[in-house]
A = this chain, B = another copy of it.
Amino acid sequence: MTKDVTTWFGTAHEAAASARRTSTDLLQRVEHRLRSFLSAEREVWADVDERAVVTIDALSELMASGGKRIRPAFCITGYLAAGGDPDDSGVVAAAAALEMLHISALVHDDVLDDSSRRRGLPTVHAKHTALHHSRGWQGESRRFGEGVAILVGDLALVYSGELMSRAPATAVPEWNKLRSEVMIGQYMDIAAAAEFSVDPRLSRWIALIKSGRYTIHRPLVVGASAAGRGELAPAFEEYGEAVGEAFQLRDDLLDAFGDSADTGKPAGLDFSQHKMTLLLGWAMQRDERIHSLITEPGHTPDEVRRRLVDTGVPDDVEKHIAGLVERGCKAIADAPIDQVWRNELTDMARRVAYRNA
C-alpha cells in the first residue's frame, strides 16, 4: 500500500503490475498443484504394476506439452476481481480442476474427431493404436487405442472432480453446470456435424456453449463464487459470452487459415470433419457451392479456403470479433469490481480474440 505514489498513472501502473503479479503467482500454484497431484498419484500406482502408470503418464505428458491455461486464468481473474484472498488455496484447486477437465475433453475430443496430433505430439488414441499394432497384440488396434483414450479421459475427468473437492463449496453449483453443459454441447456438435445442419441459430448456440460458457463465462463465475461473490455472475456472463464467441471465431479462422506449426494440429480439420462452424455457416449462406466443396470428395482444403475468401466472410468475421471484444469490455465497465481488474479483463479479451494459436 505504501507504494501507491504520486500520479494517477503511476498508481494505476503500480496496481496493474501488482495485480498481474498476484494472478501470475496463483497460476504458477495451479501448475504446481496439477504436477504434484499427478506425481503423487503416480507414486501410489507405480508400486502396483508398471502398466498402472500408463494412464497417469499420458495426462502428465499432455499437461507438459503446452496449453494456454485459459480456463484457470479466467477462474483466477474472476476470483481476484471479486476480492478473493490470494493466499487461500481453494481457488487454486478450482482452477486446477478446470484445467484437468479440459485435458479430459481434449483426449475424448481427439477420438471423436480422429485427430492424429495435439500440441505437436501424437494423440493418446493414435499413440496406443500404433503401439498395439507394432506389438502385434490381440484384438483390433483401433479399438484398443480408442479404449485407452476413453479411459485416460475418464481418469482426467475423475481427477478433475477430486481436485475440485478441495475448492470452496460455493463454487460447486457453477462447476456442475459447466461440466454437464460441455458434454451436452459436445454431443450437439457431433450431431449437427453428422447431419451437416445449416442452421446458424444452432451453430451459434453450440459455439456459445462450447466456447463462451465453457472457456470464459463459467470459469470466471467459478472464481467469483469461490470468493463468495456469485452476484457478479450476470456481468461475467455477458462478458464471457461475447469474448467466448470471439474466441471461437478466432478458432475457426485459425483452423481454416492458421499455421499448423503454431497451432500444433493439422489445418482444415473443421472442413474434413464437417464441423458447421460459424465461419462456414455464414459462408454457405452467401455461396452454397461451399457445401458441396466440403461434402463431395476430390476437393482440397485450398479450394475451400479460396472460395471462403471470395465470399468476404473472413473479413466480416474479423469485424465481428472486434465488435464482440468491445461488447465484452462494455459489459464489465459497470461491474462492481476494481478498475485494475476491468483493465486486466479488457486485456485478456484482446489476447484471446487476437491469439495466433
A187's partner among B54, B104, B137, B205 (CB-CB below 8 A) is B54
Greatest chain B CB density within 10 A among A152, A157, A187, A195 is at: A187
Residues of B within 8 A of A104 (CB): 154
Interface residues of A in 76-123 (CB under 8 A from B): 104, 108, 111-112, 114
Contact present for A147 and B183 (CB under 8 Å)? no
Complex Cα–Cα for A153 and B191 (A): 16
A194/B55 contact (C-beta < 8 A), A112-B150, A273-B139, A274-B138 known: no
Work out how many copies of this chain go into the complex: 2
Contact present for B161 and A195 (CB under 8 Å)? no
Contact present for A193 and B158 (CB under 8 Å)? no
A7 close to B (CB within 8 Å): no
Q: How many residues of A contact B (CB 8 A)?
A: 58
Complex Cα–Cα for A172 and B183 (A): 23
Mark the stretch among A43-51, A242-250, A320-328 that contacts chain B.
Answer: A43-51
Contact present for B295 and A151 (CB under 8 Å)? no
Residues of B within 8 A of A6 (CB): none
Contact present for B51 and A188 (CB under 8 Å)? yes
A180's partner among B155, B164, B184, B192 (CB-CB below 8 A) is B155
Residues of B within 8 A of A154 (CB): 104, 108, 153-154, 157, 183, 186
A132 close to B (CB within 8 Å): yes
A146 close to B (CB within 8 Å): yes
Main secondary structure of the interface of A (DSSP, over half): helix
Smallest CB gap from A164: residue in B:
B161
A183's partner among B114, B151, B187 (CB-CB below 8 A) is B151
- A138 CB, nearest partner CB in chain B, Å: 5
A144 close to B (CB within 8 Å): yes
A190 close to B (CB within 8 Å): yes
A176 close to B (CB within 8 Å): yes
Contact present for A194 and B144 (CB under 8 Å)? yes
Residues of B within 8 A of A202 (CB): 49
Contact present for B139 and A194 (CB under 8 Å)? yes
A165 close to B (CB within 8 Å): yes
A21 close to B (CB within 8 Å): no
A55's partner among B112, B164, B187, B295 (CB-CB below 8 A) is B187
Residues of B within 8 A of A147 (CB): 111-112, 190
Residues of B within 8 A of A295 (CB): 138
A220 close to B (CB within 8 Å): no
Nearest 9 CB-CB pairs, A to B?
A: A137-B194, A155-B183, A158-B179, A112-B147, A161-B161, A162-B176, A151-B187, A138-B274, A138-B196
User: What are 20 A-B residue pairs whose CB atoms fall within 8 Å in the complex?
Assistant: A49-B188, A49-B202, A51-B187, A51-B188, A52-B188, A104-B154, A108-B150, A112-B143, A137-B194, A138-B196, A139-B193, A139-B273, A144-B194, A148-B187, A150-B153, A151-B186, A155-B183, A155-B187, A157-B157, A158-B176
* Given A48-B205, A56-B184, A138-B295, 14 new contacts (CB under 8 A): A52-B188, A54-B187, A108-B150, A111-B147, A135-B194, A138-B194, A139-B194, A139-B273, A148-B191, A154-B157, A157-B157, A158-B176, A162-B176, A162-B179
